[in-house]
Amino acid sequence: MKVILTQDIKGVGRKNEVINASEGYARNFLFPRKLAVEANAENMNKLNSQNEAKQYRKDVEKENAKQIAEKLKKIEVRIQVQAGENGKIFGSVSAKEIAEALEKQHKIQIDKKKIDLKETIKMLGQQTVDVKLFEGVVGKIRLNIISA
């Protein structure tokens, strides 16, 4: 019997997955606990429309990420820090500081967790930092670290 799972079930399948289950298992365990619904035409249509809507939202989000990546290519973010004589910064520049400076200077909001610092920034000068905007979409921010 084909059923559509309404929740993740360990060893059986994931939510919104269509599986073949024995009739007894479906009628005596899955249906009474509302872990699955029968895979009839109505429920399959609901599942298909949910999947299409989910895919559409994902496509729109990816397109927005690509637009933000294009904007990021054209801008430069300046960050003022305290530094010593030989260009070494007291402390380091964090992803949080980069995100705040980006919002303040260019009105672009990016979560600090998406900024990928391979190593901490401890020197003055030009730097390029990757930003993981979406699955497969990576933007680059040019930073200009200057002494205050």
- Asked if residue 148 has pLDDT above 80, the reply is no
State pLDDT tens for residues 17-34.
999 999 999 999 999 999
Q: Give, in order, the Cα–Cα distances in Å from 55 to each of 48, 50, 62.
A: 11, 9, 10
State pLDDT tens for residues 30-69.
999 999 999 999 999 999 999 999 999 999 999 999 998 8
Higher pLDDT, 87 or 77: 77
Q: Are 28 and 63 in contact (CB under 8 A)?
A: no
Domains and CATH numbers, the chain: 2-62 (3.40.5.10), 65-147 (3.10.430.100)
